[in-house]
Amino acid sequence: MSKRITASIIAATILVLALVVQLIGTVFTGEEAENETMGLFAGSENLEEKVVDRGSGSKRIVELNLEGAIIDNPSTNPNPFGGGGYQHDRFMKKLEAIKEDGSIKGVHLYVNSPGGGVYESAEIHDKLLEIKEAGKTIYVSMGNMAASGGYYVSAPADRIFASNDTFTGSLGVIMESINYQELANEYGVKFNTIKSGEFKDIMSPTKEMTEADREILQTLVDESYQQFVDVIVEGREMPGSRVKELADGRIYSGKQAVENGLVDDIGFREDTLKALKKEIGGDPQVFQYKNTMGSFFDLPLAESLMPNSELRYIEELMSKRQGPRMMYMYTD
């Protein structure tokens, strides 16, 4: 049997599994659906620890990685095929566990993200504030990029490190949609829309945006933008007027971010951890949470039989979110 035929069989199997998952989701609801479907593919969701630097168990530092777009995959439609990327629910469970663990004195948060959803970014930010209120110290180490929502979640940190070449900033909100009305007209495609109110189809890709539509959406963007400004004012102790000067959407290098007061120090992950250890004092133990949930596409059998590009394309199609939304996101 040729590799191409084998790949086709695997692709067909994946689609069948996706239909089964969707069917389960119609039978079960909420947490029950998540348990039924994720249990088939992901195993236990218990948070397991891995000690990376032995020290005092009564004075510990946890290392967390926040990588990729900060976007939630709805628990009402669990996707066992997209487990390889950022998992919002699991990340929030880690933050809650950190807040409740009295032995944890410091949090080393590595952020490498272009941002993400307004809701998800705000949820992480608020939970980090709760962790600080519980008496824990938070240091952030920025990776290649910590832009927009990536900066939003970094703002509450007691100290922020970035490399000279880190891309950060992009402070602001964006909402985008695609309009293909003219293209549809060119091919004779017509759309019939029945709605209950004038603005029910706002941002529809099948009609031109009106000035009234734009005004409504701009007020929503402005509200989220002001929330972003307030987060930076509080986290960086910076006047609102100065924040608005910086928050025009532009990207800053790590060096520029330090000069503008958005970042405290130039350094890498090891520099951040070293500084946090010194702040905590003594000989703190350093640990991480193990990643126990993987993607179906990361299984050796799937990777050996299907080209990686095809795997990721199918995964992207299955996990892609539909519809416009407000984002704290850097877009190039």
Please identify every residue annotated as catalytic.
148, 200
Number of Cβ atoms within 10 Å of the Cβ of 165 = 10
Q: How far is C-alpha 241 from the chain's CA centre?
A: 28
- Beta-bridge mates of residue 286: 53, 61
DSSP secondary structure string for all residues of 197-229 = STTTTTT-TTSPPPHHHHHHHHHHHHHHHHHHH
> Which residues lie below 8 Å from residue 276, measured CB to CB, with a gap of 6+?
61, 106, 108, 137, 139, 159
SS3 286: strand
Pair of tokens at residue 319: 């996990």
Strands (E), the chain: 49-53, 56-67, 104-113, 115-117, 137-147, 159-162, 167-169, 251-253, 265-266, 284-289, 327-329
**Region of residue 289 (left: phi > 0; alpha: psi -120 to 50; beta: else):** beta
CA nearest 173: which of 225, 209, 136?
225
CA angle 177, 21, 40 (to 5 degrees): 125
